[in-house]
Structure 1
Amino acid sequence: MRITAMESFAPRPGQALSWLPTATSSAAAGQAPVYTGPLTFLVENHVRGCAAARTAGTPHHAYLGSGTEVDGDLDEQRMTRALDIFVRRHSALRTWFETDDRHVAAHLVDADDVSFAVHAVEEIDTDEQFQQHIAGRFSAEAISTSYPGFAFGALRRPGSFTLFFGCDHALSDGASQAFALTEIIDVYTELGGSRQGADTGPATDGAGTRDAGGYLDYAGAEAALAAHHLSGSDELDRLTKVFADNDRSLPTFPLDLGLAPGETAPVVPIEVTILTGEDIGRFESACRSAGSRLLTGIYAALAATDAELAGRTDYYGMTVFNTRSAAPRFASAQGWFAAFAPVTFPISGAATFTELLAAADTGYQAAKPLAGVPVQAAFGALIAAGATPASLASTPNLLSYIDFRRFPAAGNTGYEQGVIFTGEGRTANASLWINRDHRRLYLGSQTPGTPYAQHQVQRYFAHLCSVIQEVARSGDYTLTSPVAADVA
């Protein structure tokens, strides 16, 4: 499994198929009752933002997608039943929202009302046709204010088929995408096994258990946790102090990207291989020899790059934490399970990468408990501490790290051939997705598509890679004085 640009997903030609709810299922979904429990801040904010963008006539790109290849002829009926079971399992995928731009209400479709039917669409002969096909479907269907908030389809050809799944971000995250198609393929395979496709029942998950609430249960737990922190907690106090120590602003890309406040530019995706093969192990060994680990080494390399290119004396970034560990039942659930926490540590005084490692490790360990503070509690405290709503309105520059070797399906053909991608709209950031698989350590980013911004992000990423590569070669890296900007 790898994260890549949407255009890099280029399957062989075939007949495009789409799965849509049956008329009976759509009617039932439209009458689904309002869910009375709490929703997460991220979901509510996302739904309102998408609704505002739609009102402004902006195309919908706030989705995630995945795709993979499967050997064997496609059995449409069996795949339909596999999709039904998959959606019944996950309450997030049975949820749709409505909003008046302030309040957000969720409707939960009963598992018994889930029913899909397959439709032949068109013949896909070229990569350009396929990109137009999935972009059109995802923009029109992967919208959480309608049911379903996802698009599922296939390209059928003799002897093999391609599967793809795109989902509104309100209902999905990167881990969900890594799970989705492999789970559907597993159910599809089981239905063709010894039971010869025996039906598992309309509201069951294939193992005879009903949906336990999944993401909606998580939203309730998050609301309770937010109330706890808002009543006063050491974690909230520490988070507020970190923010106050950094000019009451969220982390930004370390280099000036040439955009005015509030300005965005069309996304240009970037993917760069950092290390391959044994070099990954050498970098990891260098980190471990200093009493640290690979992830902390990435932070140390980022800090070295910030110091040398931007003259920064402290590292200040925002990292993404996967919150599925909150309870076992969330481990493989579909939904948006994420928390964010600032990572900060001093750079000044360090002469080498190895010397930065201890500070980076301390900074990352300090961030972990802060990730337990839900976003709504954190923002409430930050505003109370003097932050303006405008300073919190923009998305911070983020760092995400995923080790795809650690997923349960690692080693399975469908998983290993899989790709994950996101919609490509506009951005003012150059957030980093650093990922590892069995072959390489690589970075991906959605960057502003202006010449100046591209120059800045390219030089930053090249320098970051050079730091990590030097550590892999020699076991350490010596910092120099800040490097002057080379503006093209």
Structure 2
Amino acid sequence: MRVTTIDHYLPEPGTFVWWAPESAATESVPSPVAPSFNQRVHLASAERGSTWLAGSFEVEGAIDHAALELAYRGLIDRHGSLRSSFVSTVRGPSRRRYPTPRLRRQDGVRADTATQLRDLLRQAFTERCRPFGFPAYLLGAIDRPERSTIICGFDHAHVDSYSIAIVIEDMRRLYQGFRSETLPKTGDFVDFCAEQAAVAPTLDDQRLHEWHRFFGTRASPPTFPLDLGLAPGTKAPQASDLRQVLDAAAVERFETLCRGQGSGVFAGCLAAMAESVRSLGGGDRTRVLFPMHTRHHDAWRHAVGWFTSDAPIEVDTDADPATAIRRTGRGVRAGIELGTLPLEHVVAALGGLDLVRDDIFMMSYIDYRRLPGATHHHAVRAQHISNVSAADDAQFWLSRTADGLALRSRYPDTAEAHSVIAGFLDEFQHTLLRFGAASHGVTGAARRGLTLLA
């Protein structure tokens, strides 16, 4: 899976075609299930810009329009989140449910250059993948005689990054003619939202106390420790950086070190991030949030929806990479335990958060090798594509594939931010390589323990 952004996406020219539901809005019914915490935050900030995620993969030959229409209809029928929408009311956003609609193919638009096609796609997804109204997604394809691309985008309210991999795998199989009932059974994200709404912690829950300690007396989320030259309350257009930070062999060496310390690759990356911040003058301790999936039951493992929460960690640096990684691994495990408490309960207990910026400093990690359809990602050239909008802080997404470890970065498009982030990313990559080289010093006993820790 290649993780990219729309400004870096340059598909081969072709004809863009797409499908739209027929008269579905007249058949909707209100749902008693309120938006999830993530959805409420997203809907409240809808006017700040379009936040959509898209997935694409390639198929041989020209698009079989009838087969693709049937596949898209099967996708909608399979995932309840795609049969729901939000409407704005005087009491706030409310959810509506829809039957599986009939689809109608729209007239194709020919693009003769990659840039022209990219701009066409960006405009189409931004116009149609909106948080309010139905549908909040765009189902399409880039038609070419020899090799075509199936591409679909969704407002973030209905999908997360994991969902994009599920959509690609479902569509790959449905387009090939597999029947929906032969795909893995899956639950409905709206049912998950109802379950989460019923969870209520007690005030003496120790996890609340640990969250309170992390946020501090002002209840402030973390910000990137290095000065990006952007005053609080101001934003800039978003800049993006995409790079492979470790190739397959290097990430294997790095994992050897991490496993030898009872930690995983993500903990090692967090330790390297904190060391990079320290070396650039950002201090010996780095506070950061990391997303974690909430697909802990079989019903949700193949479901499309926004199944994520956040977990906190404070990463301390150490001159010895092994010690830093071992300590960070413990911190990740403790953070995951805190993340099992829905963030909305944490925020409510704190009386709200003091948001210095709209964006929150975070680092995400996904091992795409473990997600549905991973064995086909390379062959079909699967891609996860995010929109670009505005930014006032730095955020990072690590993705591991068979090719190695890649990093997508999002930050303000200002001269100072470019300089600071470029320096940080170079230092981060250098630190990962330096840490990985230390794997040669792992003891024989630790190496024998790798199998048990994997």
Same fold (TM over 0.5): yes
Asked if the contact 2:50–2:130 (Cα under 8 Å) also holds between the matched residues in 1, the reply is: no
Aligned partner of 1:250 in structure 2 is 221
Match of 1:450 among 405, 414, 435: 414
Deviation at 1:409, TM superposition (A): 0.6
- For 2:26 and 2:314, how far apart are their aligned partners in 1? 47
Displacement of 1:358 after TM fit? 2.1
- The 3-state SS of whatever aligns with 1:333 is coil
Cα separation, partners in 2 of 1:361 and 1:284, compared to 1, 3 Å:
same
- % same residue: 25
Question: CA contact under 8 A between 1:410 and 1:416: conserved in structure 2?
Answer: no
2:370 to 406, 424, 432: 406
Matched, 1:13 2:9: no
Please state how far the C-alpha of 1:354 moved relative to its aligned partner: 1.4
Q: How far 1:211 sits from its partner (Å)?
A: 7.4
Q: Which of these residues, 78, 100, 105, is aligned with residue 94 of structure 2?
A: 105
Q: 1:458 to 1:230 in 2, by over 3 A?
A: farther
Match of 2:344 in 1: 376
Aligned partner (choices 234, 241, 254) of residue 213 of structure 2: 241
Equivalent residue letter for 2:52: Y
| Change beyond 3 A, Cα 1:258–1:61 | same
Q: Letter of the aligned partner of 2:25 in structure 1?
A: A
Distance 1:405 1:354 in 2: 25
User: Does 2:276 match 1:305?
Assistant: yes
Deviations 1:139-169 (CA, angstroms, capped at 9, x unpaired): 1111131211001111112232111111000
The corresponding residue for 2:71 is 82
Gaps of 5+ in 2: 442-454
* Deviation readout 1:350-376 (Å, 9 max, x if unpaired): 322112122211211110111111121
Where do residues 465-476 of structure 1 align in structure 2 (5 Å cutoff)? Answer: 465-475=429-439
TM-aligned CA distance change 1:30 to 1:256, over 3 Å: farther
Deviation (angstroms), 1:417: 0.6
Aligned-pair CA distance for 1:311: 4.1
Which residue, 198, 214, 238 being the options, matches 1:224?
A: 198
1:109-153, CA deviations, whole angstroms, 9 ceiling, x for partnerless residues? 023xx1111123221211121112111111111113121100111
Aligned counterparts, 1:348-359, within 5 A: 350-359=318-327
Closer/same/farther in 2, CA of residues 280 and 389 from structure 1, 3 Å limit: closer
Deviation for aligned residue 1:209: 10
Residue 390 (structure 1) shift: 3.8
Check conservation: 2:186, 2:299, Cα contact below 8 A: no
Q: What amino acid does structure 2 have at the position aligned with 1:125?
A: D
Q: Deviations over 1:302-346 (max 9, x none)?
A: 121122213422231101101112x21111111111100111243
**Cα distance in 2, alignment partners of residues 184 and 314 from structure 1:** 44
TM-aligned CA distance change 1:21 to 1:136, over 3 Å: same
Q: Which moved more, 1:87-96 or 1:6-15?
A: 6-15
Asked if 1 retains the 8 angstrom alpha-carbon contact of 2:289 and 2:362, the reply is: yes
Structure 2 distance, partners of 1:116, 1:294, is 43
Q: Which moved more, 1:458-467 or 1:155-164?
A: 155-164
Report the TM-score, using the length of structure 2 for normalisation: 0.92
Distance in 2 (alpha carbons) for counterparts of 1:207 and 1:443: 35
For these two proteins, the number of residue pairs brought into alignment is 441
1:7 to partner: Cα distance: 3.2
1:333 counterpart (303, 315, 330): 303
Q: Would the aligned equivalents of 1:182 and 1:414 in 2 still touch at CA under 8 Å?
A: no
Q: Which residue of 2 aligns with 1:126?
A: 113
Q: Is the 8 A contact 1:88 1:94 kept in 2?
A: yes
**Preserved contact between residue 87 and residue 93 of structure 1 (Cα < 8 Å):** yes
Deviation at 1:231, TM superposition (A): 4.5
Any conservation in 1 of the 2:61–2:144 contact (CA below 8 Å)?
no
Q: After alignment, is 88-97 or 352-361 more displaced?
A: 352-361
| SS at structure 1 position matched to 2:198 | helix
Instruction: Report deviation, 1:170.
Output: 0.4
* 1:35 matches 2:7: no
Name the counterpart of 2:446. none
**Cα 1:101–1:416 shift into 2, 3 Å:** farther
Cα separation, partners in 2 of 1:236 and 1:165, compared to 1, 3 Å: same
Counterpart contact for 2:251–2:436, Cα < 8 Å: yes
Q: Is the 8 A contact 1:88 1:211 kept in 2?
A: no
Aligned-partner SS, 2:148: strand
Residue pair 1:379, 1:392 contacting (<8 A) in 2 also? no
Q: Deviations over 1:263-291 (max 9, x none)?
A: 11101110122111311111111222333
Q: Aligned equivalents of 1:66 and 1:263: distance in 2?
A: 31
Structure 2 distance, partners of 1:7, 1:394, is 22
C-alpha distance in structure 1 between counterparts of 2:409 and 2:124, whole Å: 24
Residue in structure 2 matched with residue 158 of structure 1 by the alignment: 145
| 1:11 positional shift | 2.4
Distance 1:394 1:122 in 2: 36
Q: Once the 2 structures are TM-superposed, how far is the Cα of residue 292 of structure 1 from its aligned partner? A: 2.6
Question: Contact (CA 8 Å) 2:396, 2:408: kept in 1 or not?
Answer: yes
Could you say if the C-alpha distance between residues 91 and 162 of structure 1 is closer, same or farther in structure 2, counting changes exceeding 3 Å?
A: same
Whether contact under 8 Å (1:21, 1:116) holds in the other structure is yes
Q: Normalization by structure 1: what TM-score? A: 0.85
- Structure 1: runs of 5+ lacking an equivalent: 54-59, 192-199, 478-488
Provide the residue aligned with 1:175 in structure 2. Answer: 162
Is 1:275 aligned to 2:246, yes or no?
yes
Which of 166, 178, 186 pairs up with 2:173?
A: 186
| Counterpart residue number, 1:425 | 389
